[in-house]
């Protein structure tokens, strides 16, 4: 299994719950590329605090409803 970073997230679930928003659309809203959104969802990249807040604000939820600590590795 590929190594994952310890910050888990619900970005993909929130995207799908918000009208099947694409990674590109979310990326445009928060100011990152589609590849970075994909990396966040796959836990290959932990976003900056600012981007984490932007993602949470986009879905109108709090930051801890999007991100959580999960030290698996």
- Applying CB under 8 A, the residues found at the interface with another protein are 2-5, 27, 31-36, 39, 43-45, 47-48, 51
Half-sphere exposure of 14 (CA within 13 A, CB side): 21
**Smallest separation, CB 44 to another protein (Å):** 5
Q: How many helices (H) and strands (E) does the chain have?
A: 4, 2
Q: What's the token pair of residue 63?
A: 């930051």
**Smallest separation, CB 41 to another protein (Å):** 13
**Smallest separation, CB 49 to another protein (Å):** 11
Q: Which is nearer to another protein, 51 or 57 (CB)?
A: 51
């Amino acid at each position: 299994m590929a190594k994952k970073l310890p910050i888990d997230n619900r970005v993909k679930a929130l995207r799908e719950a918000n009208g099947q928003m694409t990674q590109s659309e979310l990326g445009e809203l928060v100011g990152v590329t589609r590849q970075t959104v994909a990396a966040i969802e796959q836990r290959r990249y932990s976003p900056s605090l600012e981007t984490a807040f932007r993602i949470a604000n986009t879905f109108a939820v709090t930051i801890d409803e999007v991100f959580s600590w999960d030290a698996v590795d």
